[in-house]
Chain A
Amino acid sequence: MSPVLYLYALVDGEPSGPLGEGIAGEPLRLVRLEGLTLVIGDLEAPPRPDRETLQAQEAVTRRLADLFTSLLPARFGEHAPDESVFAGRLASRGAELIRALELVRGCVQMTLRVFGEPEPVPAAVPEEGGPGTRYLAARLREVERARSLPEIEPLREILRPLLRAERVRRHDSGRLLGTAYHLVARSQTGAYLAALEGAEARLAGRRIAATGPWPPYAFAPEPAA
């Protein structure tokens, strides 16, 4: 294995303290490329995805999130042989990454899992057009459902004033219906949790479990196709 640059986060602004060490005890450093700032560690080889390493990276990311007002955490395993590889990808995504950094500024992620029975799927209206059109329409409905969680709509009425953004992932496997990731101002996490107290009564027997605050993992832009 060759040494690699290991990406921990994309950040904006200056850190409020020392960057400290990464998952292998390596000193972290800031690398500025294409007008953006990356937090990088130099590793002897890409890390293995075991429990201890994942938890170590989560701990590093949480510490970094406390040092910057705006931070997009990297997914596990993001590495490159040299800075030019990072620079090449940043060059084509600069605008969306700057927008994402602006979105998460001063915010944390709260994670809300919903358990129980799913809402019935509305009956599909017969589509017009040929088989290709009908297939694409069906696919679109599947994609939209995978990103929707109507079961918590009553909670959204309560939470809406506190949410800067929301991402949803539906599971439809077992009793875990889905996960809503909420972007909340760092100063509003107490209000968020207080709003959820007793809110289950609005959910027709469904249960919720909230965790956080976390760095805003779910608010990084989707990988480029």
Chain B
Amino acid sequence: MSEPETMELLETSDVSLLDTVDHLLNQGLVLTGEVIIGLAGIDLIYLRLSAVLCASDRILPREPKG
């Protein structure tokens, strides 16, 4: 995969979703600690995050260009 194609894929909505999930579930200010996400919700979201992580891993070339 060429570099421009890689960069184009990295800017797709799935990668934006990865950032969104990372920001809003792993980062960010916690004041009250009143977690509202049920266990099922967490599982679903992290399942999706894992899928996106794998996808973004796959689209990157495994070897540096020589």
A: residues with CB less than 8 A from B are 7, 9-10, 46-49, 51, 54-55, 57-58, 72-80, 85-86, 89-90, 93, 97, 111, 113, 115, 169, 174-176, 179, 181, 200-201, 205, 207, 209, 211, 214-215, 217-218, 220-221, 223-224
Contacts and interface: CB of A to CB of B under 8 A. Distances in A.
B37 A174 contact: no
**Interface of chain A: mostly helix, strand, loop or mixed:** mixed
Contacts, number: 122
Interface in B38-61: 41-42, 45, 48, 53-54, 56-57, 60-61
B57 A174 contact: yes
Nearest to A89: B31
B23 A211 contact: no
Nearest to B9: A209
A75 B60 CA distance: 29
Interface centre among B15, B29, B32, B37 (most CB of A within 10 A): B29
B25 A111 contact: no
12 contacts: A49-B36, A58-B24, A77-B34, A78-B30, A80-B32, A85-B32, A90-B31, A181-B27, A200-B64, A201-B64, A207-B60, A209-B56
Nearest to B40: A49
What are the 3 closest A-B residue pairs judged by CB atoms, nearest first? A75-B28, A217-B27, A220-B29
Given A54-B25, A209-B10, 13 more contacts: A7-B32, A47-B36, A51-B48, A55-B20, A79-B34, A80-B34, A89-B33, A90-B31, A169-B26, A176-B56, A214-B23, A217-B23, A220-B29
Interface residues of B, number: 35
Contacts of A79: 32, 34, 36
A58 B57 contact: no
Contacts of B45: 49, 54
B63 A58 contact: no
A73 B26 CA distance: 12
Nearest to B54: A174
Contacts of A224: 33
B36 A46 contact: yes
Nearest to A210: B10
Nearest to A45: B36
Given A55-B17, A79-B36, A174 B53 contact: yes
Q: Which of B16, B35, B64: most chain A Cβ within 10 A? A: B64
Contact of B60 (A9, A51, A73, A209): A209
